[in-house]
Structure 1
């Protein structure tokens, strides 16, 4: 508790600096040129959107363009020889060789996933790797997945720095040069980079708070590690759900209002139910990893509410056989009324919003929302998605 209080006091100090001028907001057409959705699709499925780039290609292009810096915050890194992540790592090595400064932040609890790849990144000239550990402050982790190139272009999405995320998992991310996003990501990275070294937050000047109705907004978690001019992600998501008038589409790996051992966490659950009750058509799609979770009874109860449908997505095993922690849907996005979109890194469970570092991007009145609607509807109507039956008993899916 003392460590958490110290962090809160330090965060208050971030507000003492002179504010910077507010950045101009991009209109819908300008958003489309600055920002694009990027997909990852499980191999041997027909779920790809022909209009969207793939993350494996976008990552290579972005890193290849780096002239000064690459700042990355990732849950973990895992590679396999010959996989889609290999060209990405090669581009990182080339960037370091030409003098690009690389800073790589990894979750302390996941460093053992692929020690050889972590060591490989550390060997790149001009590269520093730090371990992010919230022990003693919260039970959370670094769960965000993003990187910023030259302080001007950023990628945020559900993809972990993992070969499986690029080849065998349904994922959605955002590639953008939107200054509102890149500048705030750089601030969050600076906070976490400094915290990883000395458990102290840097003294950054405050910026004016963004309007809750800004067309483009970056929100983050957890609140105690985020400057007060960046809204907590949970508040932004509930706000979007409360504003829904016609439709809500949500796609997630997992969804659960069960917190800890025996607590009920109803913030998002209540917002979904309230939307359905007032006549909004709500569709929630989750992975079959939820079939063995404590949240299953709660998901079943949602199906009993008029205007609220729940589907589960099950991706068949690859032809090569079982690949642990893959062949699933891992995207985390929300579309409201077909015009507003949130894309991020949080599963909808309490710990992701209250304890762990995560990032979400919000786009209002944006053509990106229509694209995300198409992605959702393609999967919703596919042979991989089935309606959750409240009366049926389901077997737990093999994950590892």
Structure 2
């Protein structure tokens, strides 16, 4: 029996080598580390060896820059502002901020400030439309410096809703961070984040920079002359899209003004799914070095919204769904997200969005897979989430009822991840009176967005809600690299089996 288990383990390790898509080899080698932020006051959450700290990585990316640094961020608040009544930090003392780890944000900000003083070319792209203080820091960094460019972009002018939500750092066109962490000190020490840091990976960096360039170009264009109202036949809603969108009939489309946009064949009435999307082979060095799969293992990138695609890269929705469907027969699919909705969140009327739920149910039925879904429960929890998750659990009932005919043995398991103190966040003082809150606002949440099957890892920047894939900027990195797959599984499993979770089936109002 023990020998059989050892053999099974070896087979699982070799699966990525046996089931890789065919790609051309490349001599490029790069190094990769998974990256996390762990909130303070979680003593029962074990740390994972080989996983780096987000704050450390951000400092390295800034300090090491010699020629360029490009940053995409939703908003900035690396410097704590406890005296600003509009800030979630308001009312907390210096000792509170020290205990929270706010100084780490200052270190990151100072690193960027120092590299700006070294005359490195810096481009900062952020969301526009939130409280002005959230764009103050990049404005201050750019003030009086010709080498620092700061741009804000309001995607709702192009898609009717949506924000710059990607979190990306590109340094010297060869190092990249892609993950869930905002440029906020709280994302370094009070929010649970997951990302990947790729060093010396110029081929990957150049492709991510192309996406950055497309967003940068979009910020300088006049949306009023280059958007159209369309009756979207895929999602059954009238909405605004760029005039080069595939959601418009071919004859009604304009030529894309984006420098790196490449037209792809249309699959009416929606955006094309690419069966032959770009997958490129890069020898990613991980630590400790894996020796059991000597060939470079394929990676891919996916982007959102689909109108910002270039070359033959997948839309971000397709990248996620293909990862879910990559689960092997009888295997396990792990999905981690802050938000999960089977609909849109910000459109009116709402869009019904069954894409992810269908992919999960297909894995349960067709591959007898176990699908584990970890969803955040926190101070700004979306109430509609619980209903959608409970409906997804009905797949287990259907699977059981079909077991005689189809021998269905798959299962969906869903749990809420609850960071201690989630219900004690907000201003420390309101109207001159102490509130009793213990942590700043918009903290104490599991904010990571990733999926990992038996053979494939996918690390993104988007919540699993329709808007994030069709009106909001997002980037994902995916790979079949065995070490990354196993390490991401380890991150998930540590959370899954921690004391900070509650089963959806058992969830009640007393949490």
Above 0.5 in TM-score? yes
Q: Offset at 1:234?
A: 0.8
Counterparts of 2:180 and 2:144, CA distance in 1: 25
Q: Offset at 1:227?
A: 1.5
Q: Confirm or deny that 1:79 pairs with 2:78.
A: yes
Counterparts of 1:243 and 1:115, CA distance in 2: 40
Q: Confirm or deny that 1:95 pairs with 2:115.
A: yes
SS at match of 1:119: helix
Correspondence for 2:319: 236
Counterparts of 1:256 and 1:147, CA distance in 2: 28
Q: Confirm or deny that 1:266 pairs with 2:351.
A: no
SS at match of 1:263: coil
Counterparts of 2:280 and 2:142, CA distance in 1: 41
1:314 to 394, 418, 421: 418
Correspondence for 2:339: 254
SS at match of 1:271: helix
Counterparts of 1:166 and 1:115, CA distance in 2: 18
Of 176-185 and 211-220, deviating more is 211-220
Counterparts of 1:304 and 1:207, CA distance in 2: 40
Q: Offset at 1:393?
A: 4.0
Counterparts of 2:261 and 2:356, CA distance in 1: 32
Structure 2 gap ranges (5+): 1-22, 81-101, 223-255, 265-275, 282-297, 397-410, 425-436
Q: Offset at 1:302?
A: 2.3
Correspondence for 2:85: none
Write out aligned runs for 1:369-380 (5 A): 369-380=485-496
Counterparts of 1:305 and 1:387, CA distance in 2: 16
Write out aligned runs for 1:257-296 (5 A): 257-259=342-344, 260=347, 261-278=349-366, 279-289=368-378, 292-296=382-386
* Contact 1:207/1:229, CA 8 A, preserved across alignment: no
* Contact 2:126/2:135, CA 8 A, preserved across alignment: no
- Cα-Cα RMSD: 2.6
Structure 1 gap ranges (5+): 1-21
Correspondence for 2:440: 323
Correspondence for 1:49: 48
1:203 to 252, 259, 262: 259
Q: Offset at 1:368?
A: 0.5
Q: Give the number of the structure whose alpha-carbon radius of gyration is greater.
A: 2
Judged with a 3 Å threshold, the aligned counterparts in structure 2 of structure 1 residues 228 and 111 are, in CA distance, closer, same or farther, namely farther
Correspondence for 2:249: none
SS at match of 1:329: coil
Q: Offset at 1:228?
A: 4.1
Superposed CA deviations along residues 93-148 of structure 1, whole A, max 9, x for unmatched, are: 11111110111000112352535423322237321100112233201211100011
Of 197-206 and 379-388, deviating more is 197-206
Counterparts of 2:184 and 2:374, CA distance in 1: 23
Q: Offset at 1:277?
A: 2.1
Q: Offset at 1:52?
A: 1.1
Judged with a 3 Å threshold, the aligned counterparts in structure 2 of structure 1 residues 371 and 78 are, in CA distance, closer, same or farther, namely same
Write out aligned runs for 1:1-400 (5 A): 24-25=25-26, 34-46=31-43, 47=45, 48-81=47-80, 82-110=102-130, 112-123=132-143, 125=145, 126-138=147-159, 139-176=161-198, 177-199=200-222, 201-204=257-260, 210-211=277-278, 215-245=298-328, 246-259=331-344, 260=347, 261-278=349-366, 279-289=368-378, 292-306=382-396, 307-317=411-421, 321-337=438-454, 339-389=455-505, 392-394=507-509
Q: Offset at 1:394?
A: 3.1
Judged with a 3 Å threshold, the aligned counterparts in structure 2 of structure 1 residues 161 and 38 are, in CA distance, closer, same or farther, namely same
Counterparts of 1:240 and 1:181, CA distance in 2: 19
* Contact 1:172/1:331, CA 8 A, preserved across alignment: yes
Correspondence for 2:11: none
Judged with a 3 Å threshold, the aligned counterparts in structure 2 of structure 1 residues 207 and 67 are, in CA distance, closer, same or farther, namely farther
* Contact 1:254/1:287, CA 8 A, preserved across alignment: yes
Counterparts of 2:135 and 2:308, CA distance in 1: 28
Counterparts of 1:100 and 1:365, CA distance in 2: 33
Correspondence for 2:432: none
SS at match of 2:42: coil
SS at match of 1:298: helix
List structure 1 runs of 4+ shifted beyond 6 angstroms: none
Of 40-49 and 188-197, deviating more is 40-49
* Contact 2:261/2:309, CA 8 A, preserved across alignment: no
Q: Offset at 1:61?
A: 1.1
Counterparts of 1:350 and 1:158, CA distance in 2: 17
Q: Offset at 1:378?
A: 0.4
SS at match of 1:323: coil
* Contact 1:302/1:309, CA 8 A, preserved across alignment: no
Q: For this pair of structures, how many residues does the alignment match?
A: 369
Counterparts of 1:41 and 1:173, CA distance in 2: 12
